[in-house]
Amino acid sequence: MRSSIPLGRIAGVQVGLNLSVLVIVVILVAGLALGRFPVVFPGYPPVVYLLAGLASAALFLASLLAHELAHAVTARRNGIEVERITLWLLGGVAELRGEPRSPGADLRIAVVGPGASLLAGLVFGLLAGLVATTGGAALLAGMFSYLAAVNVLLAIFNLIPAAPLDGGRVLRAALWARWGDRARAAIAAARAGRVFGYVLIALGFLQVVTGSGFEGLWLALIGLFLVNAASAEEQHARLGTALYGVRVADVMSGPPVAAHPDESVSSLIERVVMRQRLSTYPLVDENGAFVGLVTLNRIRRVSPERRPHTLLRDIACSPQDVPRASPEEALTDLLDRMGGCTDGRAVVLDPAGRLIGLITPTDISRVIQTAGLGAAGLYSGLRGADLVPAARPRDGRGGSDHDRL
Protein backbone atom coordinates (compact mmCIF):
# COMPACT_ATOMS: atom_id res chain seq x y z
CA MET A 1 0.00 0.00 0.00
CA ARG A 2 2.79 2.39 -0.84
CA SER A 3 1.97 5.85 -2.11
CA SER A 4 2.23 6.06 -5.89
CA ILE A 5 0.92 9.63 -6.23
CA PRO A 6 2.32 12.02 -3.57
CA LEU A 7 0.01 14.79 -2.43
CA GLY A 8 2.49 16.65 -0.26
CA ARG A 9 2.21 17.23 3.49
CA ILE A 10 -0.90 18.04 5.47
CA ALA A 11 -0.57 18.90 9.16
CA GLY A 12 3.07 17.81 8.88
CA VAL A 13 2.20 14.31 7.60
CA GLN A 14 3.19 13.00 4.17
CA VAL A 15 0.04 12.11 2.21
CA GLY A 16 -0.24 10.07 -0.96
CA LEU A 17 -2.51 7.96 -3.13
CA ASN A 18 -1.98 4.34 -4.08
CA LEU A 19 -2.95 3.67 -7.69
CA SER A 20 -5.56 1.19 -6.48
CA VAL A 21 -7.63 4.12 -5.21
CA LEU A 22 -8.54 4.80 -8.84
CA VAL A 23 -10.70 1.67 -8.68
CA ILE A 24 -12.77 3.33 -5.94
CA VAL A 25 -13.09 6.48 -8.03
CA VAL A 26 -14.26 4.55 -11.09
CA ILE A 27 -16.78 2.52 -9.05
CA LEU A 28 -18.20 5.62 -7.36
CA VAL A 29 -18.41 7.71 -10.51
CA ALA A 30 -19.96 4.91 -12.56
CA GLY A 31 -22.38 3.88 -9.83
CA LEU A 32 -23.56 7.42 -9.15
CA ALA A 33 -23.41 9.02 -12.60
CA LEU A 34 -24.87 6.05 -14.46
CA GLY A 35 -27.05 4.51 -11.76
CA ARG A 36 -28.21 6.25 -8.62
CA PHE A 37 -28.35 9.90 -9.67
CA PRO A 38 -30.26 9.49 -12.99
CA VAL A 39 -32.81 7.23 -11.29
CA VAL A 40 -33.39 9.31 -8.16
CA PHE A 41 -32.97 12.75 -9.78
CA PRO A 42 -34.09 12.47 -13.42
CA GLY A 43 -34.08 15.27 -15.97
CA TYR A 44 -30.46 16.44 -15.91
CA PRO A 45 -28.02 16.21 -18.84
CA PRO A 46 -25.54 13.28 -18.70
CA VAL A 47 -22.60 15.64 -18.21
CA VAL A 48 -24.20 17.00 -15.03
CA TYR A 49 -24.52 13.48 -13.62
CA LEU A 50 -20.88 12.85 -14.52
CA LEU A 51 -19.73 16.04 -12.76
CA ALA A 52 -21.83 15.16 -9.71
CA GLY A 53 -20.28 11.69 -9.64
CA LEU A 54 -16.76 13.09 -9.88
CA ALA A 55 -17.47 15.65 -7.16
CA SER A 56 -18.91 12.95 -4.91
CA ALA A 57 -15.86 10.73 -5.42
CA ALA A 58 -13.49 13.62 -4.66
CA LEU A 59 -15.39 14.61 -1.50
CA PHE A 60 -15.51 10.98 -0.38
CA LEU A 61 -11.72 10.71 -0.70
CA ALA A 62 -11.42 13.97 1.22
CA SER A 63 -13.57 12.40 3.95
CA LEU A 64 -11.29 9.36 4.10
CA LEU A 65 -8.29 11.65 4.33
CA ALA A 66 -9.90 13.58 7.20
CA HIS A 67 -10.50 10.27 8.99
CA GLU A 68 -6.84 9.26 8.68
CA LEU A 69 -5.55 12.74 9.50
CA ALA A 70 -7.51 12.63 12.74
CA HIS A 71 -5.71 9.40 13.65
CA ALA A 72 -2.33 10.85 12.64
CA VAL A 73 -2.66 14.15 14.50
CA THR A 74 -3.89 12.44 17.66
CA ALA A 75 -1.07 9.89 17.46
CA ARG A 76 1.52 12.65 17.23
CA ARG A 77 -0.02 14.40 20.21
CA ASN A 78 0.45 11.16 22.13
CA GLY A 79 4.12 10.89 21.24
CA ILE A 80 3.90 8.55 18.23
CA GLU A 81 5.63 9.48 15.00
CA VAL A 82 3.55 9.16 11.82
CA GLU A 83 5.31 7.87 8.71
CA ARG A 84 2.64 8.67 6.10
CA ILE A 85 -1.01 8.46 5.14
CA THR A 86 -1.98 6.45 2.08
CA LEU A 87 -5.40 6.24 0.46
CA TRP A 88 -5.89 2.95 -1.36
CA LEU A 89 -8.42 0.44 -2.67
CA LEU A 90 -10.19 -0.31 0.61
CA GLY A 91 -9.93 3.09 2.29
CA GLY A 92 -6.99 4.72 4.04
CA VAL A 93 -4.02 3.79 6.19
CA ALA A 94 -2.12 5.95 8.65
CA GLU A 95 1.30 4.34 9.18
CA LEU A 96 2.45 4.90 12.75
CA ARG A 97 6.01 4.42 13.98
CA GLY A 98 5.50 2.92 17.38
CA GLU A 99 2.67 1.91 19.67
CA PRO A 100 0.59 3.79 22.25
CA ARG A 101 2.11 3.79 25.73
CA SER A 102 -1.16 3.52 27.62
CA PRO A 103 -4.72 2.25 27.16
CA GLY A 104 -5.94 5.84 27.25
CA ALA A 105 -3.69 6.88 24.37
CA ASP A 106 -4.72 3.78 22.42
CA LEU A 107 -8.39 4.66 22.92
CA ARG A 108 -7.95 8.31 21.91
CA ILE A 109 -6.13 7.43 18.71
CA ALA A 110 -8.76 4.83 17.81
CA VAL A 111 -12.00 6.74 18.40
CA VAL A 112 -10.96 10.01 16.78
CA GLY A 113 -11.14 8.53 13.26
CA PRO A 114 -14.79 7.43 13.44
CA GLY A 115 -15.46 10.69 15.24
CA ALA A 116 -14.10 12.59 12.24
CA SER A 117 -16.29 10.52 9.91
CA LEU A 118 -19.37 11.26 12.02
CA LEU A 119 -18.49 14.95 11.95
CA ALA A 120 -18.11 14.82 8.17
CA GLY A 121 -21.49 13.11 7.95
CA LEU A 122 -23.03 15.86 10.07
CA VAL A 123 -21.49 18.59 7.89
CA PHE A 124 -22.71 16.97 4.67
CA GLY A 125 -26.13 16.45 6.21
CA LEU A 126 -26.35 20.13 7.14
CA LEU A 127 -25.28 21.10 3.63
CA ALA A 128 -27.95 18.85 2.15
CA GLY A 129 -30.59 20.44 4.36
CA LEU A 130 -29.38 23.92 3.54
CA VAL A 131 -29.54 23.29 -0.21
CA ALA A 132 -33.01 21.74 0.09
CA THR A 133 -34.47 24.53 2.21
CA THR A 134 -33.06 27.32 0.03
CA GLY A 135 -34.51 25.86 -3.16
CA GLY A 136 -31.21 24.62 -4.57
CA ALA A 137 -30.80 21.84 -7.09
CA ALA A 138 -32.22 18.53 -5.92
CA LEU A 139 -29.22 16.70 -7.38
CA LEU A 140 -26.83 18.79 -5.26
CA ALA A 141 -28.87 18.12 -2.13
CA GLY A 142 -28.94 14.43 -3.02
CA MET A 143 -25.17 14.37 -3.49
CA PHE A 144 -24.61 15.83 -0.01
CA SER A 145 -27.17 13.44 1.49
CA TYR A 146 -25.35 10.49 -0.08
CA LEU A 147 -22.02 11.65 1.35
CA ALA A 148 -23.58 12.15 4.77
CA ALA A 149 -24.95 8.60 4.78
CA VAL A 150 -21.69 7.09 3.52
CA ASN A 151 -19.63 8.80 6.24
CA VAL A 152 -22.00 7.70 8.98
CA LEU A 153 -21.84 4.12 7.67
CA LEU A 154 -18.05 4.38 7.49
CA ALA A 155 -17.91 5.43 11.15
CA ILE A 156 -20.25 2.64 12.24
CA PHE A 157 -18.39 -0.03 10.27
CA ASN A 158 -15.04 1.08 11.64
CA LEU A 159 -16.34 0.84 15.21
CA ILE A 160 -16.99 -2.90 14.89
CA PRO A 161 -14.79 -4.46 17.63
CA ALA A 162 -12.43 -6.33 15.33
CA ALA A 163 -8.81 -5.43 14.56
CA PRO A 164 -7.51 -3.80 12.43
CA LEU A 165 -10.70 -1.71 12.40
CA ASP A 166 -10.84 1.22 14.79
CA GLY A 167 -13.31 -0.72 16.90
CA GLY A 168 -10.65 -3.38 17.28
CA ARG A 169 -8.33 -0.74 18.68
CA VAL A 170 -11.06 0.30 21.11
CA LEU A 171 -11.46 -3.33 22.16
CA ARG A 172 -7.70 -3.63 22.59
CA ALA A 173 -7.59 -0.52 24.76
CA ALA A 174 -10.46 -1.77 26.93
CA LEU A 175 -8.92 -5.22 27.40
CA TRP A 176 -5.51 -3.66 28.01
CA ALA A 177 -6.95 -1.48 30.76
CA ARG A 178 -8.73 -4.49 32.29
CA TRP A 179 -5.96 -7.08 32.04
CA GLY A 180 -2.93 -4.83 32.25
CA ASP A 181 -1.33 -6.81 29.41
CA ARG A 182 -1.15 -5.05 26.06
CA ALA A 183 0.06 -8.09 24.11
CA ARG A 184 -2.75 -10.29 25.40
CA ALA A 185 -5.28 -7.58 24.55
CA ALA A 186 -3.83 -7.13 21.05
CA ILE A 187 -3.99 -10.88 20.37
CA ALA A 188 -7.62 -11.02 21.50
CA ALA A 189 -8.57 -8.05 19.28
CA ALA A 190 -6.73 -9.60 16.33
CA ARG A 191 -8.53 -12.89 16.78
CA ALA A 192 -11.85 -11.04 16.81
CA GLY A 193 -10.81 -9.35 13.57
CA ARG A 194 -9.96 -12.66 11.96
CA VAL A 195 -13.32 -14.15 12.92
CA PHE A 196 -15.14 -11.08 11.58
CA GLY A 197 -13.14 -11.30 8.37
CA TYR A 198 -14.15 -14.93 7.85
CA VAL A 199 -17.78 -13.96 8.45
CA LEU A 200 -17.54 -11.29 5.74
CA ILE A 201 -15.94 -13.77 3.33
CA ALA A 202 -18.75 -16.26 3.95
CA LEU A 203 -21.43 -13.59 3.48
CA GLY A 204 -19.71 -12.43 0.32
CA PHE A 205 -19.70 -15.88 -1.23
CA LEU A 206 -23.32 -16.32 -0.19
CA GLN A 207 -24.21 -13.12 -2.04
CA VAL A 208 -22.31 -14.31 -5.12
CA VAL A 209 -24.22 -17.60 -5.10
CA THR A 210 -27.57 -15.83 -4.71
CA GLY A 211 -26.93 -13.42 -7.57
CA SER A 212 -25.42 -10.27 -6.01
CA GLY A 213 -22.09 -10.82 -7.73
CA PHE A 214 -20.28 -7.51 -7.38
CA GLU A 215 -21.46 -6.74 -3.84
CA GLY A 216 -20.51 -10.23 -2.75
CA LEU A 217 -17.05 -10.07 -4.28
CA TRP A 218 -16.42 -6.69 -2.66
CA LEU A 219 -17.53 -7.99 0.74
CA ALA A 220 -15.31 -11.06 0.36
CA LEU A 221 -12.36 -8.83 -0.60
CA ILE A 222 -12.82 -6.74 2.53
CA GLY A 223 -13.06 -9.90 4.61
CA LEU A 224 -9.88 -11.31 3.08
CA PHE A 225 -8.04 -8.10 3.87
CA LEU A 226 -9.28 -8.17 7.47
CA VAL A 227 -8.19 -11.80 7.92
CA ASN A 228 -4.69 -11.10 6.60
CA ALA A 229 -4.28 -7.85 8.52
CA ALA A 230 -5.58 -9.38 11.76
CA SER A 231 -3.23 -12.35 11.39
CA ALA A 232 -0.30 -9.98 10.86
CA GLU A 233 -1.29 -8.00 13.96
CA GLU A 234 -1.43 -11.15 16.05
CA GLN A 235 2.03 -12.18 14.85
CA HIS A 236 3.31 -8.68 15.65
CA ALA A 237 1.86 -8.89 19.16
CA ARG A 238 3.41 -12.31 19.74
CA LEU A 239 6.75 -11.03 18.49
CA GLY A 240 6.53 -8.13 20.92
CA THR A 241 5.90 -10.59 23.74
CA ALA A 242 8.86 -12.77 22.75
CA LEU A 243 11.18 -9.77 22.54
CA TYR A 244 9.97 -8.12 25.72
CA GLY A 245 12.93 -6.58 27.57
CA VAL A 246 15.47 -7.13 24.77
CA ARG A 247 17.60 -4.05 24.20
CA VAL A 248 19.29 -2.91 21.02
CA ALA A 249 22.67 -3.44 22.73
CA ASP A 250 21.80 -7.11 23.26
CA VAL A 251 21.32 -7.71 19.55
CA MET A 252 23.50 -5.29 17.60
CA SER A 253 26.65 -6.32 15.76
CA GLY A 254 29.69 -4.11 15.93
CA PRO A 255 31.95 -2.32 15.67
CA PRO A 256 30.94 -2.08 11.99
CA VAL A 257 33.24 -1.86 8.99
CA ALA A 258 32.84 1.73 7.84
CA ALA A 259 33.74 3.46 4.59
CA HIS A 260 34.37 7.05 3.53
CA PRO A 261 31.63 8.72 1.45
CA ASP A 262 34.19 9.81 -1.20
CA GLU A 263 35.43 6.28 -1.82
CA SER A 264 34.42 4.79 -5.17
CA VAL A 265 32.15 1.79 -5.46
CA SER A 266 34.86 -0.27 -7.19
CA SER A 267 37.32 0.54 -4.41
CA LEU A 268 34.94 -0.65 -1.74
CA ILE A 269 34.27 -3.85 -3.67
CA GLU A 270 37.99 -4.62 -3.99
CA ARG A 271 38.90 -3.51 -0.48
CA VAL A 272 36.09 -5.01 1.57
CA VAL A 273 33.18 -6.61 -0.28
CA MET A 274 35.10 -9.43 -1.98
CA ARG A 275 37.21 -10.10 1.11
CA GLN A 276 34.82 -9.90 4.04
CA ARG A 277 31.55 -10.30 2.13
CA LEU A 278 29.48 -8.11 4.42
CA SER A 279 26.14 -6.68 3.32
CA THR A 280 26.02 -3.33 5.14
CA TYR A 281 28.54 -0.47 5.04
CA PRO A 282 27.93 2.68 7.08
CA LEU A 283 29.66 5.84 5.83
CA VAL A 284 31.57 8.14 8.16
CA ASP A 285 33.45 11.32 7.27
CA GLU A 286 36.93 12.37 8.38
CA ASN A 287 35.46 13.65 11.66
CA GLY A 288 33.85 10.32 12.43
CA ALA A 289 30.31 11.58 11.83
CA PHE A 290 27.77 9.19 10.36
CA VAL A 291 26.79 10.46 6.88
CA GLY A 292 24.96 7.58 5.17
CA LEU A 293 24.52 3.86 4.66
CA VAL A 294 25.31 1.63 1.69
CA THR A 295 23.89 -1.88 1.32
CA LEU A 296 24.99 -4.64 -1.01
CA ASN A 297 21.75 -4.29 -2.96
CA ARG A 298 22.61 -0.67 -3.73
CA ILE A 299 26.09 -1.65 -4.84
CA ARG A 300 24.70 -4.29 -7.19
CA ARG A 301 22.52 -1.70 -8.91
CA VAL A 302 25.62 0.16 -10.15
CA SER A 303 26.73 -1.19 -13.52
CA PRO A 304 30.38 -2.43 -13.70
CA GLU A 305 31.45 0.34 -16.08
CA ARG A 306 30.14 3.04 -13.70
CA ARG A 307 31.63 1.67 -10.50
CA PRO A 308 35.10 3.33 -10.76
CA HIS A 309 33.48 6.74 -11.19
CA THR A 310 30.57 6.42 -8.75
CA LEU A 311 31.15 7.55 -5.18
CA LEU A 312 29.56 5.82 -2.25
CA ARG A 313 27.82 9.05 -1.24
CA ASP A 314 26.02 8.96 -4.60
CA ILE A 315 24.29 5.65 -3.87
CA ALA A 316 23.96 5.81 -0.09
CA CYS A 317 20.82 6.23 1.94
CA SER A 318 20.95 9.71 3.44
CA PRO A 319 21.47 9.82 7.22
CA GLN A 320 17.96 11.25 7.65
CA ASP A 321 16.48 8.10 6.05
CA VAL A 322 18.45 5.62 8.16
CA PRO A 323 16.75 4.35 11.35
CA ARG A 324 18.82 5.23 14.41
CA ALA A 325 18.78 3.69 17.84
CA SER A 326 20.53 4.02 21.17
CA PRO A 327 22.02 0.94 22.86
CA GLU A 328 19.49 1.00 25.70
CA GLU A 329 16.43 1.37 23.46
CA ALA A 330 13.93 -1.49 23.38
CA LEU A 331 14.33 -3.60 20.26
CA THR A 332 10.56 -3.68 19.71
CA ASP A 333 10.50 0.13 19.45
CA LEU A 334 13.20 0.04 16.77
CA LEU A 335 11.50 -2.67 14.70
CA ASP A 336 8.62 -0.33 13.87
CA ARG A 337 11.08 2.12 12.28
CA MET A 338 13.16 -0.32 10.24
CA GLY A 339 12.39 -0.20 6.56
CA GLY A 340 12.73 2.00 3.51
CA CYS A 341 15.94 2.38 1.57
CA THR A 342 18.13 0.61 4.16
CA ASP A 343 16.71 -2.87 3.39
CA GLY A 344 15.87 -3.41 7.05
CA ARG A 345 19.10 -2.05 8.56
CA ALA A 346 19.56 0.42 11.39
CA VAL A 347 22.57 2.11 12.96
CA VAL A 348 23.30 2.29 16.68
CA LEU A 349 24.80 5.52 18.04
CA ASP A 350 26.23 6.26 21.47
CA PRO A 351 25.09 9.35 23.46
CA ALA A 352 27.76 11.42 21.71
CA GLY A 353 26.40 10.47 18.29
CA ARG A 354 29.28 8.14 17.36
CA LEU A 355 28.55 4.99 15.36
CA ILE A 356 29.02 1.90 17.52
CA GLY A 357 26.98 -0.83 15.87
CA LEU A 358 24.45 -2.08 13.34
CA ILE A 359 21.18 -3.93 13.48
CA THR A 360 20.66 -6.16 10.43
CA PRO A 361 17.93 -8.62 9.39
CA THR A 362 20.26 -11.45 10.38
CA ASP A 363 20.55 -10.04 13.90
CA ILE A 364 16.76 -9.79 14.16
CA SER A 365 16.27 -13.29 12.75
CA ARG A 366 18.68 -14.83 15.22
CA VAL A 367 17.12 -13.26 18.29
CA ILE A 368 13.64 -14.34 17.11
CA GLN A 369 14.82 -17.92 16.47
CA THR A 370 16.40 -18.16 19.92
CA ALA A 371 13.61 -16.35 21.78
CA GLY A 372 12.00 -19.55 23.03
CA LEU A 373 15.18 -21.37 24.11
CA GLY A 374 15.39 -19.86 27.57
CA ALA A 375 18.66 -20.36 29.41
CA ALA A 376 19.96 -22.62 26.65
CA GLY A 377 19.61 -19.90 24.06
CA LEU A 378 20.79 -16.37 23.53
CA TYR A 379 18.93 -14.96 26.52
CA SER A 380 18.03 -16.45 29.87
CA GLY A 381 14.38 -15.42 30.03
CA LEU A 382 13.18 -12.81 27.55
CA ARG A 383 10.66 -11.50 30.08
CA GLY A 384 13.32 -10.83 32.68
CA ALA A 385 14.45 -7.31 33.42
CA ASP A 386 18.16 -8.19 33.35
CA LEU A 387 19.12 -9.95 30.15
CA VAL A 388 22.58 -11.31 29.48
CA PRO A 389 23.55 -11.61 25.81
CA ALA A 390 25.61 -14.56 24.74
CA ALA A 391 28.95 -13.91 23.09
CA ARG A 392 28.53 -12.94 19.43
CA PRO A 393 31.15 -14.45 17.10
CA ARG A 394 33.37 -12.00 15.28
CA ASP A 395 35.48 -12.40 12.19
CA GLY A 396 38.54 -10.66 13.63
CA ARG A 397 38.38 -7.79 11.15
CA GLY A 398 35.76 -5.56 12.73
CA GLY A 399 32.60 -7.08 11.26
CA SER A 400 30.10 -9.49 12.77
CA ASP A 401 29.17 -12.83 11.29
CA HIS A 402 25.56 -11.67 11.69
CA ASP A 403 26.04 -9.35 8.73
CA ARG A 404 27.60 -11.87 6.39
CA LEU A 405 26.08 -13.12 3.15
What backbone phi and psi angles, to 5 degrees, belong to 275? Answer: -100, -45
Closest residue by Cα to residue 246 from 140, 390, 376: 390
Residue type, 271: R
Reference 337, options 386, 25, 329; nearest CA is 329
Q: d(Cα 287, Cα 283) in Å, to the nearest integer?
A: 11
How many alpha carbons fall within 13 Å on the CB side of residue 319? 15
Do the Cβ atoms of 186 and 197 come closer than 8 Å? no
> Which residues are part of the catalytic machinery?
68
Q: Which residues contact 368 (CB under 8 A, 6 or more apart)?
A: 239, 242, 243
3-state class percentages of the chain: helix first, strand second, coil last, to nearest 5: 55, 15, 30
Burial of 44 (0-12, 13-18, 19+ CB in 10 A): middle
- Distance between CA 28 and CA 15 in Å, rounded? 22
Helices H, strands E: what count in the chain? 15, 9
Please provide residue 255's backbone torsions phi and psi, each rounded to the nearest 5 degrees. -70, 145
Helix axes 46-77, 21-31, angle to 10 degrees: 140
Residues 34, 45: Cα–Cα separation, whole Å: 12
What DSSP assignment string belongs to 8-48?
EEETTEEEEE-TTHHHHHHHHHHHIIIIIHHHHSTTS-HHH
**Helices within 32-137 (DSSP H only):** 37-40, 46-77, 103-133
